[in-house]
A and B are shown apart, each in its own frame.
Chain A
Amino acid sequence: MDPLTRYFQNNNRREFLKKMGFGIGGLALGYLLDPFGFGKNNGSSLTKLQKGSLALPHFAPKAKRLIYLFQSGGPSQLDLFDYKPKLNENRGMDLPESVRMGQRLTGMTSGQATFPLTGSVYDFAQYGESRAWLSELLPYIGKIADELCFVKSMHTEAINHDPAITFFQTGSQLPGRPSFGSWMSYGLGSLNDNLPSFIVMLSKGTGREVAQPLYSRLWGNGFLSSLHQGVQFRAGKDPVLYLNNPEGVSRLERRKMLDYLAQINQHHEENFGDQQILDRMAQYEMAYRMQTSVPEVMDIENEPDAILQMYGPDSLKPGTYAANCILARRLIEKDVRFVQLYHVGWDQHANLPAEVKRQAKDVDQPTAALILDLKQRGLLEDTLVIWGGEFGRTNYSQGILTDDDYGRDHHPRCFTIFMAGGGIQPGMTYGQTDELGYNIVQDPMHVHDLQATILHLFGIDHEQMTYKYQGRRFRLTDVHGHVHHQILA
């Protein structure tokens, strides 16, 4: 080998050892690769861990696991959570310029001659001791209102689906940054040796026939190690594609093959010192373990009838939101760090009353059941559940407003999400919008604020969890974000 290559190799090696030894990436990675790794240092191993300046968690965590029930498309907060009687009173009136204040609209309604205000056709009532307002479309959520913290003052910067979802998932509207779950996996490591620490499941809503598509980059690892990539579990026979052995290859043979492959890779790694080789080796091993762990966790047939009933009739249909909720609980029981569900079809530009009713029915009972099911198993204590979309919907009708029909356009200036468990104050409504449900008047919570607050619950100072890439230290919250202590238990 010529001296120049050797020099660069050593440089790489040094880089790698540095990361393994001191960096926070090293901690998480070391843990994923070798759970005993931290025991191999001299002296007191835990002390050694503590000495790393970026070691995590920074402080005692309230939550260890997260289920993010992402409602893709933008659920109408005005028909589900944010009760605005004033909108019903002023039905048909044009949105006053004093309220809109020239804020931008999407191309779908910016050409409209008028913006007729419309309240919800659905009735609202207060639920639980916390007297949370909810529409009649969410009777089961109403039953668990006292477990939930509603944030009515979420706001975002993006106005179209993909940038808005990307913003929620990666902290940036432009694609390319690591997903939330990847950051968590990177920062905190895996709690489970046999399953990925970040798992994603998709379901299609009944609200809208043709829903906005989702890109798999939403759960991509960006510039982080591929170990932290979200793994999609599909409904049906083959939950993870290409996981099973090819026909005629036994598990034993697979093992042998992997061992030989590891030897070759090891050799290659010794020559080149490239971290990606180690990542790849770890991925092969994870896939091998998943060959047995995945079928076990995906087999919901042994769930008792009472549990299936709880999650509702859809729980029997693989690939539905309800079935995914049951799976999410099973994964959390297995100590998967971050389970992300996407339920698509919340994009009601037209025909909203009929569509949102079906769509809400998809999620109402399963979501409530999931939260209660986690609770009765003692898991809600340290599992955070988040329900919410990428933005809200307008207080005026997109298209013609008729007696029983209207549509709503995207509205990033205010929308509602709710959370439960994992150190969140239960039975609380946070933030407030104006009487017409257009702007926020109290306690605005930006997407970065939400991310900072969630990281805080996991014992992470969002300003300290960084990854250096292309000469810059990146954060999930970029250069923004404040923890909202008011919603913490």
Chain B
Amino acid sequence: MEWLHFVGKLHPVIIHLPIGIFLFTYWLVLLSIKNPSKYTHTIGWGLQSSFYTAIVASILGYLRYLTEDYTAEVLNHMWMAITTTVFIGLLWFLYFKKVSNRLFNGSFTLVVICLTISSHLGAQLTHGKGYLKLPKKPTTVSIKKDSINLYTQVIHSILDKKCVSCHGNEKQEGGLILSSVEGILKGGESGLAIDFKNPNDSRLLYHLELPMDHDLRMPPKSRTQLTPIELELIKNWVLDGAKFEQTMAYQQIDRSQLELLEEFFPPELNPVSPPSHKDLEKILAHDFRVDQYSMNHHYVVVRYLGDSLSMDAFDALYKIRKNVIELNLNSVIIPPSAFEKFRNFKNLKKLHLNHTNIEDQDLASLDALPLQLVSLTNTRITQEGIHQLLKNQSLEKLFLWKTSITDEEKSNIQNNSVIDIDFGVAADFAEKQQVERPQMVSQQTLFVDSLAVSFLRPIESVDIKYTLHGQTPDSLSASYQDSLWIKESGTLKAKSFILGWLPSQTTEIDFRKVAHTITQYQLQSSPSGTYTNHSNLFDLELGSTSFTDGYWVGHHGDDLIVVFDAPEYPQFSHVSVSSMRSYGGWIMLPKSIKVYGLSRDGWQLLSELEIPQASEKFSQTQKEQFDIPIKPQDVEQYRIVVENLGVLPPWHDHAGESSWVFVDEIYLW
């Protein structure tokens, strides 16, 4: 039975074979009127093929008739089709008989007419009766402005548009008729369409809400689907008890349902008439911005672009008050007499009055409006005003950040209200943040006379406190203004403060006042690679941790040896050498730094610093300064030897290779 049912389903497919072949044959017959013998053979073949396939199609059709539910109407199609099949057979017979052309062609034409009628009847069964009808004017639904019958005005028209072609009087798939009240109440073979006890379990909804790919989904995947709004309307109607007779006044319908209805009805049926061109021109000239809410509405969304609203401007807007669904007057000074007139904006749903001069008593005029959302952030509204406003039953959301409502009153209001009230972000949302530590604009730390230091100031309210003598800065320390002057060697400590934030960590910077700029020098070693720019050794500018930045002078395997003239008036106590180490760059700290002086006795070692070396792998690239104490002596020249470690130590991945030594600055202080 099951597979007979399935095979029967092939009827609408197979049926096109005999129709096609037969009509093609007829075409050949017409072509050969003038030249009778031209296609004779093919015509015979065509008649034979269409006859056989017609028999197959008829059998399938009969199976379909047995296994599907059709009304008696199907019988017309069946007998007509069987007759046509027989006629095709007879035509074939006539063909063999070689009857006269006139008789043959005439009979052929008659059978074609027969075929057309029977196929048309069949097509009506598959596609529905209205399939071939010329597009008719959509039935106009008359809307009374004040009330509505959901079934006749809404549900019926949806079903009519999307369902009835398969579930109507002509074709009753699953035995279900959705075109009449009786049909809906009767339901289909698999049960009631609407379950009045548990509306949620209604089969009507079940089929509408199945996933698109489900076999039982209605309308089926290939057909025009319900829009979300139509589905929602049907659902609401069923859940509400599927009332056929009830007529409801608009005031009784709840808001979300009203919104759906407004979307459903074409704009001509909207209760509000469109604003006039003249009014709009005027409003726009008054510096309002007007946007249409949607193509299905005559509502508009209005925002005032200026700072101060004149009564003239407001009166211009007042002309289209019924069209205004949303009004935005944020940061606008509103004339007090305008508030009173708000009560006539009968369709106003959203009202934005942030940063305005609205007062408690002005809220009284909002009582009867269908407002859903009111925002009053940063206004002088107090608890009294809010109590007044909350009398409005339609209200859903209220924004009251930065109003004159105390914390105590806030919780009071919140507890006594069912709607969503926003008082702003809770004070404990963000943990107290630490300010970033101060950063110097320039990295210069060596100077001769004095040095102007300035800090980056990402934001004006940052207070940067600093000390120059080693103490950690606190709120009493000196405040950094635009710049500060460093005149002595020492450590600058600075800290950023912002009210309400945690103070930053301390920035520590060592400044060195250099006693003497070395201009005459002689490099006695030869730097390697591209790190040969030795004029940078005495320019008082330190390099970064990147040894390729141009400030660094590098020696591969060799020591750095430099000789310079002693200053005439020696006033210094240290020779400093700035160096670095980098594991990946094979750069090690110097093994030692030796300072020689040239006097009458020749070169003499004046001071020496042994530098402890790392004993294991290190990951960070580091700069380091080495200060070699030295007594001013009567010498003509100094010679500095920065001793290269020579080879990489055993723990290094490249142990045994020549190591590098890098120096960016040598200075006296």
Contact = CB atoms under 8 A, between A and B. Distances in A.
Contacts of B417: none
Interface in B232-284: 259, 263, 267, 274-277, 280-281, 284
Nearest to B277: A45
B281 A39 contact: yes
B200 to A, nearest CB: 18
B429 A316 contact: no
Contacts of B397: 378, 381
A309 interface: yes
B429 A310 contact: yes
Q: Which of A372, A375, A377 has the most CB of B within 10 A?
A: A377
Contacts of B479: none
Given A36-B284, A318-B458, A376-B424, A46 B434 contact: no
B263 A59 contact: yes
Given A43-B277, A59-B296, A301-B460, A316 B436 contact: yes
Contacts of B432: 309
A353 interface: no
Contacts of B352: 378
Contacts of B354: 377-378
Interface string A134-178: 000000000100000000000000000000000000000000000
> Is chain B's binding surface mostly helix, strand, loop or mixed?
loop
Nearest to A49: B292
B347 to A, nearest CB: 13
A55 interface: yes
A60 B294 contact: yes
Interface string B65-86: 0000000000000000000000
Interface stretch (B190-198, B463-471, B496-504): B496-504
Nearest to B281: A39
A55 B461 contact: no
A313 B504 CA distance: 11
B335 to A, nearest CB: 23
Contacts of B434: 313
A60 B296 contact: yes
Contact of B294 (A59, A305, A306): A59
Interface residues of A, number: 49
Given A305-B500, A365-B430, A459 B294 contact: yes
B435 A313 contact: yes
Interface string A445-462: 000000000000001000
A309 B433 contact: yes
Contacts, number: 131
Interface residues of B, number: 55
Nearest to B504: A313
Given A305-B501, A312-B430, A372-B425, A46 B436 contact: no
Given A310-B425, A378-B375, A305 B461 contact: yes
B399 A42 contact: no
Interface stretch (B136-144, B297-305, B560-568, B629-637): B297-305
Contact of A50 (B292, B399, B460): B292
A44 B268 CA distance: 13
Interface in A356-397: 365, 368-369, 372-373, 375-378, 381
Nearest to A305: B500
B293 interface: yes
17 contacts: A39-B280, A39-B281, A46-B274, A50-B274, A57-B295, A59-B296, A301-B459, A305-B500, A306-B500, A316-B436, A369-B425, A369-B429, A376-B377, A377-B401, A378-B352, A381-B397, A485-B228
Interface of B: 228-229, 259, 263, 267, 274-277, 280-281, 284-285, 289, 291-298, 300, 303, 305, 350, 352, 354, 373, 375, 377, 397, 399, 401, 422-425, 427, 429-430, 432-436, 458-462, 498-501
